[in-house]
Structure 1
């Protein structure tokens, strides 16, 4: 692995944490509220939503740590082990957790297998509350571990999503995101275009056609900041691909308001893969939680022999 690849692998996970922590204090507020109270959020803020110290991450980063540690220790994708780690984390009482994630983990703890828990919850949910962004926010470790094995990456991205988010839009959202990140890690010329080719014809039309508009066929003002997986993925891809730096990408996503921690996290993973950990602001790195662990995990996943 070259130093550039190592930097991008570390950047994927550390960038995600930076976006998560930058967005956490203003989660659920509008862009107008952010502008009124902060002008423009560019620094790690304390307090705010969830009332945590500056640099504190949310469930987005907590869950990638579960996945990354499982991949590094098992040297393979092990859905049972990932589900067990999610359950232990859930039992520790995180201050932030999505409703569908909580329901799926509870379903798993009640005895349903990790392969079926997400599906059971999904089948009970009405359209409009069944395709959130709770799996794309945490899927990036797979992109590093399986960057050179695109078929395996597609398979494990879907399996990992389905532990909590079974909807095909969520599963293929993880595929699109991970294939794009993996493309950056490999130095591909057009990572998103190559990712779209891989899912075209298989992924849900709404998801694929919405992502196909990025970046040149969608207006910046049309982008949404909701927790719907299609919206989050489109907006984060747009911000990460059109920015001139990782900082610009993450700041733009967070200041959109709405689901700011997850918008920041997904954009941060993409921007970290594109620009590397060395492209992230030192002032953020000095503050963000898990920074050293995530950098080491990213490098370990990039260099380890991990199987499907």
Structure 2
């Protein structure tokens, strides 16, 4: 049985990282320091001009996944794609380019199993392996924490709806296996996750993540939207911090793709430290806070069908 405190920590940590990073998204570390010193509080306005505690596509797409798992009680890729499309058609203020392209293609009738591949095949290297699927995938780690083979399968299938590149699909596998490892109390869940991925995993992804946390200089971490950079930086901050708050603050203040790196770091730190480690001053204004808590508790206590 997954701890409800840890499960809530994952989804609320993801949303806290997302909301803390949203106002400074696209700014450099130097710009953040110049304007804010260090971002430690939920800020209003900023990059998207929204109230304090507002989340972005990272959390909203994770909510689509969590709601589908809870309501359908199994992984249903078409239902998740339908929820993504409904969200897309609500005109969200923040959405990644590959996600938008894939959902437009899906709206034209392309099957959910192949839509991401269709988009990926027309993308040049450098614009085909973004972090738009790793940012949202954490609900699967709660639902299938004790079903590693199912977790790997659904992580890849769900990523491929919008992000088919192997670095994205296996990035979701490694991230979710790491989160699930924390839920199971493993001592070194990232190392265990890397040991379990098969030979199809891109070498660049595996070798980059093998450097975390002890074999890389913190100053070499990068903060772009490239999935390999996002995972390395977010995992580093989540694994080296002494608290969930420290992990998220460190990730956000690095600049760059602050909402997504913050969200991924927050999900991992939430699994590691639990909901109780997240500051009340962040949770109080957090958008969807009650929904996230309820969904996390339900995912942790419901037997989601792993055979579908």
- The 5-angstrom pairing of residues 1-308 of structure 1 reads 1=1, 5-308=3-306
Cα deviation 1:32-58 (Å, max 9, x = unaligned)? 000000000000000001100000000
Which stretches of structure 1, 4 residues or longer, exceed 6 Å deviation after superposition? none
Cα RMSD, aligned residues only? 0.7
Cα deviation 1:51-101 (Å, max 9, x = unaligned)? 000000000000000000000000000000000000000010000000000
Structure 1 Cα separation of the partners of residues 47 and 94 of structure 2: 10
Query: How far off is 1:296 after superposition?
Result: 1.0
Cα deviation 1:262-303 (Å, max 9, x = unaligned)? 010000000001000001001001111111111111111111
Residues 12 and 271 in structure 1, CA contact (< 8 A), matched pair in contact too: yes
* TM-score with structure 2 setting the length: 0.98
Unaligned runs of 5+ in 1: none
Query: How far off is 1:149 after superposition?
Result: 0.2
Residues 44 and 55 in structure 1, CA contact (< 8 A), matched pair in contact too: yes
Residues 8 and 185 in structure 1, CA contact (< 8 A), matched pair in contact too: yes
Which secondary structure does the structure 1 equivalent of 2:132 belong to? coil
Unaligned runs of 5+ in 2: none
Structure 1 Cα separation of the partners of residues 172 and 162 of structure 2: 12
Query: How far off is 1:202 after superposition?
Result: 2.9
Query: How far off is 1:201 after superposition?
Result: 2.6
Structure 1 Cα separation of the partners of residues 244 and 160 of structure 2: 29
Cα deviation 1:171-215 (Å, max 9, x = unaligned)? 000000000000111111211111011115331100000000000
Structure 2 Cα separation of the partners of residues 11 and 249 of structure 1: 13
Cα deviation 1:224-283 (Å, max 9, x = unaligned)? 000000000000000000000000000000000000000100000000010000010010
Range that drifts further, 247-256 or 184-193: 184-193
Structure 1 Cα separation of the partners of residues 156 and 75 of structure 2: 12
Structure 2 Cα separation of the partners of residues 243 and 200 of structure 1: 29
Alignment: residue pair count: 306
Structure 2 Cα separation of the partners of residues 200 and 163 of structure 1: 21
Structure 2 Cα separation of the partners of residues 52 and 187 of structure 1: 37
Residues 27 and 259 in structure 1, CA contact (< 8 A), matched pair in contact too: yes
Structure 1 Cα separation of the partners of residues 60 and 224 of structure 2: 21
